[in-house]
Structure 1
Amino acid sequence: MAWEDVLRIINGPLPHDRHWTQSRLLRAVKAYVRDEFLPYAVLGRAGGRETDDHLPAIVAAIKGSDPEITLQAICDRLESMRERTPRGRTSWQPYSVKMLLERAEKLGLL
């Protein structure tokens, strides 16, 4: 699993002022490995990423709740939800949403 995904899982339930940064998480993991609380394997390279369908699912849910919504309105909603783009950016473009809607259709979410 990629460190960004681990970070998202860890930070999910935490208040915003207690969020971990990626560098802080890596320092803690390395210390746990050094002190033998975690196996060395956790520092190994992540395997190939499985197809992540959480973004198509979110976009499909937004579109399903309001079929007439524009791509830009979906962008605005994703930004207000603080969802990152597939490349990790904070601002969404209509073309990215269009691609996610197409992927959601292929996955049978729409």
Structure 2
Amino acid sequence: MSNLNETVNLIEEWGSKHGLDKIENNDKQLLKTVEEVGELAEAHNKKYPDKVIDSVGDIFVTLVLYCMQRNISITDCINEAYQTITRREGKTIDGVFIKKEDL
């Protein structure tokens, strides 16, 4: 497939074509993201690897559409998060990173 930026653009085009670029849909898009996270949890718990992949993809799509509706770049969001975690101090406990201030 294409690179991530191209895929984001294709998702945005699809969203616009289907009327999902409208800000008034934004609460619904956030709820759709939460629904997809629930489906990911179910797939994880039931050990359905194909459904895990599908759910992660669906979550990404809903986040791209949410950002598009808010006129926010998902790439900027991801870059900001990365810059934040690179400065974060903490410790991994039982496979979960715990921020220094939460230890």
Q: Which has the larger radius of gyration?
A: 1
Relative to its length, the structure with more strand (as a share) is: 2
Q: What is the TM-score normalised by the length of structure 1? A: 0.25
Q: What is the TM-score normalised by the length of structure 2? A: 0.26
Relative to its length, the structure with more helix (as a share) is: 2
| Relative contact order higher in (CA < 8 Å, ≥ 6 apart) | 2
